[in-house]
Structure 1
Amino acid sequence: MGLDAVRDHSRVVGWLDDPTDDRGVRFRQDDGAWRRWTYRELADGALRAGAALADAGVRPGDVVPLVLPNGPDFVTHFFGLLAIGATPSVLPLPWALRAGQGYQHQLRAIAARMRPAHAVVSARYRDLFTESVAELDTATMALEPAYADRPEDAPRARRELAVLQFTSGSRGHQRGLRITIANLAANLRMIRRWTEVDGYGAVSWLPLYHDMGLIGGMLAALTVQAEHALLRPEQFLRDTRGWLAEYGHRPYATMVMPNFGFERVLARVRPEDVAGLDFSALTSVISGAERIDPAVLARFVGLLGPYGLAAEALMPAYGLAEGTLAVTGVSKKDVPRLVMASCQDRRLGEKVDVRGVAELGTEPVAEPWLWQVSCGPPLDGVTVEILDEDGVRQPEGVLGEIFVRAPSVADGYVDASAEDAARLGAGALRTGDAGFLLDGELYVVGRLGDSVKVNGQSVFVEDVELELVASGAVSRQHATVVAGTANGTPTVLVVSERSLGDRLADVRATVRAFTGDAARIDVLHVARGSIPLTSSRKPRRRALWLAYLTGELTEVRL
């Protein structure tokens, strides 16, 4: 292993050899209390977990799935595997995929790709895991978290592969990504320079089987031994006010969430709930993972601004699992910019019609669906270009596919098809996302696979959905929009798990504003739970569209 590889490995697991007693990680307990582990205690636990795993037969180079909730056992076994030269692969938990047969199917599909000899599984999920993988004939041994008595007995080894990361499935089926130690170390270095993580990290509830949660919500802080806190997603949902109060009571500097997290806060927290709290230490509020709604962020700053949160703390970002995580981000202490761009004229390879520029503040912009939020410039070491449909690089202000080149771009997909290999390889990535650059900053419009061409223009479902939600016609939690070509006709489909009642005409009119008369508009009221979700709780739009095409999507008859 060369000097660079040794340094990369040290950036990820070096803290195990020099842990501190001065800082630690607080974990939320089931009774609402917090238990704090110092980094010395966590390092000791990681080495003892590594020794126990080695005793159970785990060897350097093995890929070992983790089916564990956010908590101390997750941290110790994740780093314990890295310490002995094995590769953790964090799998979704049943609650994330509405459990049932759908969860078992996805778990089985993921396990079939890696065919693991061992897995570390919480006692709560052991029977479900064992049942799900039994028919694969892999003889996978499900191990519960365990610790050897002597941490010094843990073998130490280094391997190239750091994490086998599975995508959330929002772009299709879940793919396994090879994230090397070099990829991970590069992205962590970029994130540290961008956010300036130092003494205090975050209070993260993000699921650790998702790249945003694992890397942004945990590794960015733990690998530099920042004071940090972790809780489970369901604990955040049950006690959103309590989660937010942790920021008001302690000087945590970073908050990382997708847009729906901010919506949850706004739905559950009132001004009187934060009175007397101090949010002035919160200097990095990172929003990503899905289309950023400027109205939601403005309301969030409006809620916490009187208690110390500055608009400059907002740091919208763009990233994806194939980039390890972060690709671009608004610079710290810069107020995010917005540009008004017509949603009715989206043509790849053509200049975007920018009609206005503003700063994101506490006053929500009118017609938020017309405004694009800057996701900032590329992080240090990242190159971002915009390509047309022929793969030709485009100048600033032109809409096209986002192309990324960086040392943090994943090594490749497991069992990659020819199409996969053409999309991802040699540190370069065609993201499948559409966007444009303006003054060196990236604006993300939507996913090319979630758009449909109408009279030569691309209609992005994110645009349609944002306007439907902003107008109050549908609920983001219970409805989604998909699009494609059905029987040769461009079609936009609105699927709602709640009856739209007298709002049906408004929904159709809103969609018609994007498509004109050249597309079919279909609106379906389906049973609750019919919209398939990814492991990160986003709609699996492609799966929903295929169900529509095959007639498997059943409408509720009133």
Structure 2
Amino acid sequence: MSQRKTADHERLFGWLDDPVDARGIRFRLDDGSWQRLTYRELARRTLGAGAALADAGVRPGDVVPLVVPGGEDFVTQFFGLLAIGAVPSVLPLPLALRAGEGYQAQLKAITARIHPRHVVADPRYHDVVGENVARIGGGTEVLAPQYADRPEEAPRAWGDLAVLQFTSGSRGSPRGLRISIANMAANLRMIQGWIDPVGHGAVTWLPLYHDMGLVGGLLGALTLQVEHALMRPEQFVRDTPGWLTEYGRTPYTSMCMPNFGFERVLATVRPEHLEGLDFSALTGVISGAERIDPAVIARFAALLAPHGFRARALMPAYGLAEGTLAVTGVPKARAPRLARVRGLERRLGEKLDVAEVVELTTEPVDEPWNWQVSCGPPLGDTRVEILDEDGVAQPEGVLGEIFVQGPAVAEGYVDAAPEDREKLDDGKLRTGDAGFLLDGELYVVGRLGDSVKINGQSVFVEDIELELVASGLVSRRWATVVAGVVRGEPKVLLVTERPLGERQEEALSVMAAFTGGTRHAEVLCVKRGSIPLTSSRKPRRRSLWLAYLAGELKERTNS
């Protein structure tokens, strides 16, 4: 249902009405070159896309899935839909053009919830998208990105929703979130006021079907019309040094990625790659979306420090799709804080023993698994509390569930069940994440659903995984820790796709320090590809644990 234009609409796509020529977006092409469009050129193309979509039968209020790689077509089709009052829903892409059963099942599950009349898909994905949406019935038409030559004739309507955002599904099947125009505008105000990009934004490679990539990587900069650059995830993986070089040659001010991105830089970038580069303009480096390893971001800062980078540019943050994106963040130009928590006891509702709080530097801390990284204070008008198991707010220093309330919290889930409404309703969100507050700042410990109680204490798999990685025993690329209860007994399981050989006993010893002995710990070596991943490449821990319980994880032979 369309409505009159508001200030929130203006923040999200007012750039279409008043685009600038001086700045634009660069798009990385398949041959490694870049194509740049000014915002004026991009606005004209976007309105042409809107006119073509309307000609194809898309109407205000329609939810239209997008299966389009990051690039010019993505930007124009996304905003073209918004301009005519429709609602984009960005779906994952078939990985490397190989649409396996897992992808097809996910695509069918999502489209069955939406029942779209149209889907916009890149031509190379037309067949796999068409085959799977056809199976749900309803006569969905698959459209290729297209443009009309009369952008001035594009119908303009102002809808209520900015996007129907599907979660990555790390704790189950993806669920659709209704992100309103007001939610999106509120989160953009928070992000833009926090990062404050001046002139230049970022070189973003994050997948645009993920909230961090869409909101933090693209919309935050585009809606301000700063100079920006867009790559695809596979381009970043293939040429990580080349991606970083873009920052060293151009005064981009922001960077946003999960811990994996920093690990990738450290694994592939050598000091000789950085000769002649200058990173002094980089003032806002955001780490989020997964557990932040203090040793990794310290090493990243040390790598770039000889070339003008300052550790104070690091801005750890906490956010999630249900919050549109950003919830908390370390203030700009202030060194991130680390809190060392004594002991391994983790009881919800009990005060943690915080031994010291220090500022992060380029020197990695010893035993990084004992340190929690501050994700900063709440942004904007957001309120964050810590709740015990009874839902009672707790004082600072007490471990509990993170609760969020504010204007950026999503409207709710599509087809919400009663338990969904208990989690998310009326701008209030029980995140399912565990953490604590200290001096007004949030420290995130892990997922409650990925923990298990042993002798009355909550053992978080993220803590164990961090120590195993820091000890050099495993890599997150091929190993994951999960936990649960087997025949009434708690168990922590390390699933690895590579044999540990003689170091397996060492891994069990690390796990035993958390579980109180090896009785509750196990290592299982499985064949490659056994660990299921979400669309954002996180391990699907719940699916992995259920596969273990069902006996579907087969131990690797000759290991």
Aligned mates of 2:3, 2:236 — CA distance in 1: 42
Aligned position for 1:127: 127
Query: Which aligned pairs between 1:15-414 and structure 2 lie closer than 5 A?
Result: 15-95=15-95, 99-342=99-342, 344-414=344-414
- Cα offset for 1:530? 0.8
Q: Does the aligned pair in 1 maintain the 2:299–2:363 contact within 8 Å?
A: yes
2 and 413 in structure 1: CA distance in 2 versus 1, 3 angstrom threshold: closer
Q: Secondary structure at the match of 2:475?
A: coil
TM-score using structure 1 length: 0.98
- Cα offset for 1:198? 2.7
Moved runs in structure 1, 4+ residues, more than 4 A? 1-5
Q: Does the aligned pair in 2 maintain the 1:452–1:483 contact within 8 Å?
A: yes
Q: Does the aligned pair in 2 maintain the 1:165–1:177 contact within 8 Å?
A: yes
Aligned mates of 2:523, 2:27 — CA distance in 1: 44
- Cα offset for 1:554? 1.4
Aligned mates of 1:551, 1:142 — CA distance in 2: 39
Aligned mates of 1:483, 1:195 — CA distance in 2: 37
- Cα offset for 1:2? 12
Asked whether 1:530 is paired with 2:530, we answer yes
Asked whether 1:542 is paired with 2:545, we answer no
Q: Secondary structure at the match of 2:266?
A: helix
Residue 15 of structure 2 aligns to which amino acid in structure 1?
W
* Partner deviation per Cα, 1:129-188 (whole Å, 9 max, x = no partner): 111122100211000000001001100001111100000111221110000000000000
Aligned mates of 1:527, 1:225 — CA distance in 2: 47
After alignment, is 398-407 or 337-346 more displaced? 337-346
Q: Does the aligned pair in 2 maintain the 1:492–1:519 contact within 8 Å?
A: no
- Cα offset for 1:343? 5.3
Query: Which residues of structure 2 form unaligned runs of 5+?
Result: none
- Cα offset for 1:380? 1.1
Aligned mates of 1:173, 1:525 — CA distance in 2: 25
Identity in percent: 70
- Cα offset for 1:15? 0.5
* Partner deviation per Cα, 1:81-114 (whole Å, 9 max, x = no partner): 0000000000001118973111101011011010
After alignment, is 514-523 or 271-280 more displaced? 514-523
Q: Secondary structure at the match of 2:69?
A: coil
* Partner deviation per Cα, 1:253-308 (whole Å, 9 max, x = no partner): 00000000000000000111101100000000000000000000000010001101
Q: Does the aligned pair in 1 maintain the 2:497–2:525 contact within 8 Å?
A: yes
Query: Which aligned pairs between 1:420-499 and structure 2 lie closer than 5 A?
Result: 420-499=420-499
Residue 14 of structure 2 aligns to which amino acid in structure 1?
G
* Partner deviation per Cα, 1:224-270 (whole Å, 9 max, x = no partner): 10100001100000000000000000000000000000000000001
Q: Does the aligned pair in 1 maintain the 2:2–2:158 contact within 8 Å?
A: no
5 and 399 in structure 1: CA distance in 2 versus 1, 3 angstrom threshold: farther
Q: Does the aligned pair in 2 maintain the 1:423–1:431 contact within 8 Å?
A: yes
Q: Secondary structure at the match of 2:452?
A: strand
Aligned mates of 2:527, 2:342 — CA distance in 1: 34
Aligned mates of 1:96, 1:478 — CA distance in 2: 19
- Cα offset for 1:362? 0.5
Q: Does the aligned pair in 2 maintain the 1:254–1:283 contact within 8 Å?
A: yes
202 and 144 in structure 1: CA distance in 2 versus 1, 3 angstrom threshold: same
Q: Does the aligned pair in 1 maintain the 2:161–2:180 contact within 8 Å?
A: yes
Q: Does the aligned pair in 2 maintain the 1:245–1:277 contact within 8 Å?
A: yes
Residue 238 of structure 1 aligns to which amino acid in structure 2?
R
310 and 440 in structure 1: CA distance in 2 versus 1, 3 angstrom threshold: same
Q: Does the aligned pair in 2 maintain the 1:455–1:518 contact within 8 Å?
A: no
| RMSD, aligned CA | 1.4
Residue 416 of structure 1 aligns to which amino acid in structure 2?
A
- Cα offset for 1:4? 9.8
Q: Does the aligned pair in 1 maintain the 2:3–2:160 contact within 8 Å?
A: no
- Cα offset for 1:517? 3.2
- Cα offset for 1:518? 8.1
- Cα offset for 1:519? 5.0
Aligned mates of 1:370, 1:2 — CA distance in 2: 52
- Cα offset for 1:556? 1.0
TM-score using structure 2 length: 0.98
Aligned mates of 1:309, 1:406 — CA distance in 2: 34
Residue 89 of structure 2 aligns to which amino acid in structure 1?
S
Q: Does the aligned pair in 1 maintain the 2:202–2:229 contact within 8 Å?
A: yes
Q: Secondary structure at the match of 1:104?
A: helix
Q: Does the aligned pair in 2 maintain the 1:84–1:154 contact within 8 Å?
A: yes
Residue 275 of structure 1 aligns to which amino acid in structure 2?
E
Q: Does the aligned pair in 1 maintain the 2:3–2:158 contact within 8 Å?
A: no
Q: Does the aligned pair in 2 maintain the 1:489–1:519 contact within 8 Å?
A: no
Q: Does the aligned pair in 1 maintain the 2:2–2:160 contact within 8 Å?
A: no
242 and 13 in structure 1: CA distance in 2 versus 1, 3 angstrom threshold: same
- Cα offset for 1:430? 0.2
Aligned position for 2:510: 510
* Partner deviation per Cα, 1:172-230 (whole Å, 9 max, x = no partner): 21110000000000000000110012311000000000000000000000001010000
Aligned mates of 1:204, 1:342 — CA distance in 2: 37
Q: Secondary structure at the match of 1:136?
A: coil
Aligned mates of 1:136, 1:4 — CA distance in 2: 35
* Partner deviation per Cα, 1:363-416 (whole Å, 9 max, x = no partner): 000000100000000001110000000000000000000000010000000011
Aligned mates of 2:432, 2:227 — CA distance in 1: 37
Q: Secondary structure at the match of 2:135?
A: helix
After alignment, is 87-96 or 38-47 more displaced? 87-96
- Cα offset for 1:486? 1.1
Aligned mates of 2:547, 2:284 — CA distance in 1: 40
Q: Does the aligned pair in 1 maintain the 2:3–2:159 contact within 8 Å?
A: no
- Cα offset for 1:68? 0.3
Aligned mates of 1:119, 1:16 — CA distance in 2: 23
Q: Does the aligned pair in 1 maintain the 2:480–2:496 contact within 8 Å?
A: yes
Q: Does the aligned pair in 2 maintain the 1:96–1:536 contact within 8 Å?
A: no
Aligned position for 2:9: 9
Q: Does the aligned pair in 2 maintain the 1:293–1:466 contact within 8 Å?
A: yes
Aligned mates of 1:353, 1:5 — CA distance in 2: 51
Q: Secondary structure at the match of 1:43?
A: helix
Query: Which residues of structure 1 form unaligned runs of 5+?
Result: none
Aligned mates of 2:507, 2:4 — CA distance in 1: 56
Aligned mates of 1:40, 1:549 — CA distance in 2: 56
Q: Does the aligned pair in 1 maintain the 2:509–2:518 contact within 8 Å?
A: no
Aligned mates of 1:399, 1:158 — CA distance in 2: 43
Residue 194 of structure 2 aligns to which amino acid in structure 1?
W
Q: Does the aligned pair in 1 maintain the 2:84–2:155 contact within 8 Å?
A: yes
Aligned mates of 2:125, 2:516 — CA distance in 1: 50
Aligned mates of 2:197, 2:420 — CA distance in 1: 34
